[in-house]
Amino acid sequence: MSRVSAAQGNVKRLKALALGLAIAGFGAMASANAAPGPLQEAINHGKHMFIHDTFGGDGATCETCHRAAGMGPTIVHGHRFPSLANAAAIFPRYNPRAHKVITLEDQIRGCIARGLKGKPPAPGSMAMSSMVAYLTSLSQGKPIDMGGKPK
Q: Are the CB atoms for 130 and 43 separated by under 8 Å?
A: yes
pTM exceeds 0.85, yes or no: no
- 51 in Cβ contact with 65 (< 8 Å): no
Mean per-residue pLDDT for 100-124? 96
Q: What is the pLDDT of residue 35?
A: 60
- The 3-state DSSP class for residue 73 equals coil
- Asked if the model's pLDDT at residue 67 lies above 60, the reply is yes
Cis check: omega of the bond before 92, within 30 degrees of 0: yes
Task: Check: CB of residue 148 under 8 Å from CB of residue 85.
Answer: no
DSSP 85-116: TTGGGG-SEEETTTTEEE-HHHHHHHIIIIIS
The answer to whether residue 13 scores a pLDDT higher than 50 is: no
Beta bridge partners of 25: none
Task: Quickly count: other Cβ atoms within 10 Å of residue 47's Cβ.
Answer: 21
For residue range 32-58, what is the model confidence (pLDDT) as tens digits?
Answer: 455 679 999 999 999 999 999 999 999
* C-alpha neighbours within 13 Å on the C-beta side of residue 145: 13
Does 3 score more than 80 pLDDT? no
